[in-house]
A and B are shown apart, each in its own frame.
Chain A
Amino acid sequence: MKKTYLAGIVVLVIVLAITLFYFANTDSTKKDIPIKELDNKELDARLNEFMENVLSGGPPPDGIPPIENPKYISINEADNFLDDRDVVFLVEAKEGIFIYPQKILVWHEIVNEEIDGEKVSITYCPLTGSAIGFKGKVSVGETTFGTSGKLLNSNLIMYDRATRSYIPQILGMALSGELKGERLNEFPVILTRWKNIKQNYNEAKVLSDNTGYVRNYNRDPYGSYLTEGNYYDSGSSFFPIMNRDGRLGDKEVVMGGRINEAPFAILKSSIRDKKIMEFEIAGQKLTAIYDDTLDTARVFDDKEKLVNTFDVMWFAWVAFYPETEVLQ
């Protein structure tokens, strides 16, 4: 009799475990990603090395749900739920100024939107403190981006929904799939504080917390930008990274950029103090100018063309670009 009960329990547990395992791992977006070899062997080897270091962050694809149909509210309405010191991301477009609060993006990481008639994605990785805009037009047509649930050097890996290629946000280049080796078109997403927006952009549209998802947007799972001594300003990465470099502290904020694929990093506290920095990278003369209205810097080449840069934690930037120049 006892044995019958025991056998029954074991069978029940196995069935339950298999059922739960199946439902817990159902990945509707899973498809085989084609292996592609690039003509540029050096780049191919580098991307393959990156691919070998991709880790699971836990969630399945789009388990961190991108916002697909963003709604916007006015500055006055947004002021009810934003603190002056809250971090927000600013996008300058022909049709106006768009603001994306960090307290919302920390739960979604990607906003898929159409701005100035183009599909674009505003992306934010909380683990590396980087916000970058990407245009949806790629070599195979238009696409949108999702969260893969994977990480590289603690950084968000996006996937494009047309070809399922993996694209680490900081790298901005596909590691796998049909788009392997293709660099996405970036546009600036400026990290600043809510107080700066209120003072300078009355007409801006602010992303509403009516996102279609249930989240506590007043709670940041990693820490807070309003206090010190948490993930955003101290300690190291939660996840293994490919390269470490002691030139700067892990969580020091740099403005990372690339010119002709040559990476450079401007220490944010240095440009804040110096206001203007002139330097040369890969034979290109560049000028960084500090903008105190937004507490950011803009980098221009010798033809006064804007070179995209973005705030990022040092450990993550140097993990992708160990050869980076540091300007301080």
Chain B
Amino acid sequence: MNLIKKLSIIIKQKKPLAVGFIVGILFFILYLLSIQHISINQEKFFSFSIVEDWTDKIIKIRASFQWEPIAVLTIFWVDFFVSLNIVLGLILAALVFFNIVIAVFSYSLRNVCLIKPGGKGISIAGILPAMFTGFACCAPTFIIALAPVLASFTLFFIRIQLFLVPTSILIMLVGLYWSLSKIKEEHFKIMELIKK
């Protein structure tokens, strides 16, 4: 049974799907917060504005893996900034979603089939590096927030910032492969039998 087929079966399970969906959305929101694409706006209830030269600005880089926002949507006093980081955030959130779905499915297999599929810890750890990519002017945003505790790490994080997003993607893809390869065809059959 190939990995895609396994994934398509697992994704039809209600519980893993629901948990994966919730965690994926939470990750997406946290990612947007970490790169300052969500903020409170006390002055506006609803508005939308877009910069005039958005076609030029949309590909303008502000820092590693951060692109210039070209529009802002305000709903219920919350600003949502629109940039290519939304696409990157969705890719990362999709990887989080698949990893969580498989982790939850593997956990239920452990209870039912007494097997211990591995990899979920590793793949979930892949969430972390991407959260540290936010930059404000000349310092990582999470360092500003935690300063002065982490100020001495500023240079370190600036040096590794280029690798944070690729590291996240790499860890989550490897985790996905590892977890799926641990699940065998007979596990699905046992699950089906138990359901019946």
Contacts and interface: CB of A to CB of B under 8 A. Distances in A.
Contacts of B158: 55-58
B137 A126 contact: yes
Contacts of A127: 137-139
Contacts of B138: 57-59, 64, 127, 149, 151, 156, 238-239
Interface in B137-173: 137-141, 143-144, 147-148, 151, 154-155, 158, 161-162, 165-166, 169-170, 173
Interface stretch (B14-22, B67-75, B102-110, B183-191): B67-75
Given A58-B140, A212-B51, A212-B53, A20 B148 contact: no
Contact of B68 (A13, A213, A235): A213
A221 B144 contact: yes
A59 B166 contact: no
B41 A216 contact: yes
A17 B154 contact: no
Contacts of A237: 151
Chain A interface mostly: loop
Best-surrounded residue of B61, B70, B158 (most CB of chain A within 10 A): B61
B36 A26 contact: no
Contacts of A81: 43
Contact of B2 (A1, A64, A239): A1
A221 B141 contact: yes
Given A58-B138, A239-B155, A231 B39 contact: no
A200 interface: no
B174 A9 contact: yes
A218 B65 contact: no
Given A13-B169, A20-B165, A222-B144, A59 B135 contact: yes
Nearest to B70: A214
A238 B139 contact: yes
Interface in B90-109: none
B69 A214 contact: yes
Nearest to B154: A238
Nearest to B166: A17
B39 A64 contact: no
Given A56-B158, A214-B72, A238 B137 contact: no
A231 to B, nearest CB: 7
B169 A17 contact: yes
B181 interface: yes
Given A214-B72, A216-B39, A109 B170 contact: no
B147 A212 contact: no
Contacts of B51: 212-214
A68 to B, nearest CB: 11
Contacts of B154: 238-239
Contacts of B79: 216
B175 to A, nearest CB: 11
A156 B138 CA distance: 9
B68 A65 contact: yes
B147 A221 contact: no
Given A17-B170, A236-B148, A238-B147, A221 B64 contact: no
B42 interface: yes
B62 interface: yes
Contacts of A26: 61
Given A56-B158, A221-B136, 17 more contacts: A1-B2, A9-B174, A17-B170, A59-B63, A63-B62, A65-B60, A127-B139, A151-B138, A213-B57, A214-B49, A214-B72, A214-B81, A216-B41, A231-B147, A238-B138, A239-B138, A239-B155
12 contacts: A9-B173, A26-B61, A55-B155, A55-B158, A58-B63, A58-B135, A60-B61, A64-B137, A216-B39, A222-B136, A222-B139, A239-B155
Interface of B: 2-3, 36, 39, 41-43, 49, 51-53, 57, 60-65, 68-72, 79, 81-82, 135-141, 143-144, 147-148, 151, 154-155, 158, 161-162, 165-166, 169-170, 173-174, 177, 181
